[in-house]
Amino acid sequence: MKNITYILFFLLLQPLATKKLLCEEIYVAVASNFRPAIERIVEEFGEEGVNIISGSSGKLYAQIVNGAPYDIFISADQLRPNILVENNLGIKDSQFTIAIGRLAIFTINKFSYNDLYDLLGDKEIKFMAVANPATAPYGKASYNFLNNLDFYDEWEGRIAHGENINHAFTMVSTGNAKVGIVSLSKILEKDITNFFLVPDDLHNPIFQDVVLLRNSKDKKLANSLMDYLRSEKAKNIIEKFGYTTK
């Protein structure tokens, strides 16, 4: 009788174990600036098995090219998703602009600057933190902004590169740089009040594209999430994090 009880117990467990083994799972590679937004979206999406990996767009792109098993890529630009599609690593019909980013220049401490021009003209500031333009699109847009205002020459030698937006923000919050240029989404996430919003016409648009990767191991769950990313619910969340949407 005791042996029969054990057998019944294991038979009852078997469907649960099988279900766990067959659980759908995908990996979303996302530019660091967009991580808070995608975390909220995934929470509202409500399906289990969605894993988020964040970093600079350039590094995530390099990982994908070298075979990283990601299912979806959300970049901080359009260029890298475009190249993935051109090289047959991304699915063309899946690509779309999920968000349009905005720049902000900030300090942790209160300041008395009248506007961003006043701040940028302060020669007493030793270092400004900016995401690395070689790997982070927001860094590239930051340089574009400084050049458009003819301030780059004044700041040359005083710009400290962060690996990505998060790193650039940390450099300011820890006092290693007095000011930083980051995404508006980061400003809102950290409840920063000492900042100036950079007008959109002072830098090239920051179109952030998402693409389904061809080597996705679970297209059903990945496609389901891609559909949700296009929804009005997702757009409303994205806008609350400081982005605009198409």
How many angstroms separate the first and last alpha carbons of the chain? Answer: 67
The CATH architecture one would assign to domain 103-197 is 3-Layer(aba) Sandwich (3.40)
- Name the pLDDT band for 1 (thresholds 50, 70, 90): low
- SS3 category, 101: strand
**pLDDT of res. 246:** 87
- The token pair at 217 is 């191991």
Which range in 1-10, 15-24, 219-228 is most confidently predicted, on average pLDDT? Answer: 219-228
Q: Is the pLDDT of residue 8 over 60?
A: no
Region 229-244: what's the mean pLDDT? 97
Report pLDDT for 27. 98
Label residue 23 by pLDDT band (50, 70, 90).
low
- CA dist 76 and 79 (Å) reads 9
Instruction: Summarize pLDDT for 29-44 with one digit per residue, the tens.
Output: 999 999 999 999 999 9
Token representation of residue 2: 């005791």
Is the model's pLDDT at 15 over the cut of 80? Answer: no
162: which strand partners? Answer: 131
Q: What is the mean pLDDT of the chain?
A: 91
Nearest Cα to Cα of residue 108 among 192, 204, 205, 1 = 192
Nearest to 95 by CA among 111, 119, 79, 112: 79
| Cβ(42)–Cβ(189) below 8 Å | no
Task: Kindly list the strands in the beta sheet with 206-212, ordered across the sheet, starting from the edge strand earlier in the chain.
Answer: 50-55, 26-31, 72-74, 206-212, 96-101
Measured between alpha carbons, how far is 59 from 55 in angstroms, rounded to an integer?
A: 7
CB contact set of 160 (below 8 Å; sequence gap of 6+): 127, 128, 129, 130, 171, 176, 177
Residue 147 pLDDT = 96
What is the bridge-based pairing of β-strands 159-162 and 195-197? unpaired
Sheet with 179-183: strands ordered across: 159-162, 128-131, 179-183, 103-106, 195-197
By three-state DSSP, how is residue 157 classified?
A: coil
pLDDT at residue 3 above 50? no
Q: What is the pLDDT of residues 148-207, one digit of tens each?
A: 999 999 999 999 999 999 999 999 999 999 999 999 999 999 999 999 999 999 999 999
Domain 2-100+207-240 and domain 103-197, same fold? Reply is yes
Instruction: Let me know the angle formed at the C-alpha of 85 by 82 and 91, rounded to the nearest 5 degrees.
Output: 125
Instruction: Return the domain boundaries, the chain.
Output: 2-100+207-240, 103-197
**What was the pLDDT predicted at 24?**
82
Which residues make beta-bridge pairs with 101? 206
Classify burial at 39, counting beta carbons within 10 Å of its beta carbon; exposed 0-12, middle 13-18, buried 19 or more. middle
6: Cβ–Cβ under 8 A, 6 or more apart, which residues? none
Question: In CATH, what class is 2-100+207-240?
Answer: alpha beta
pLDDT of residue 6: 36
Tokens of 43: 């929470």
Dig out the tokens for 218 from the structure: 């679970």
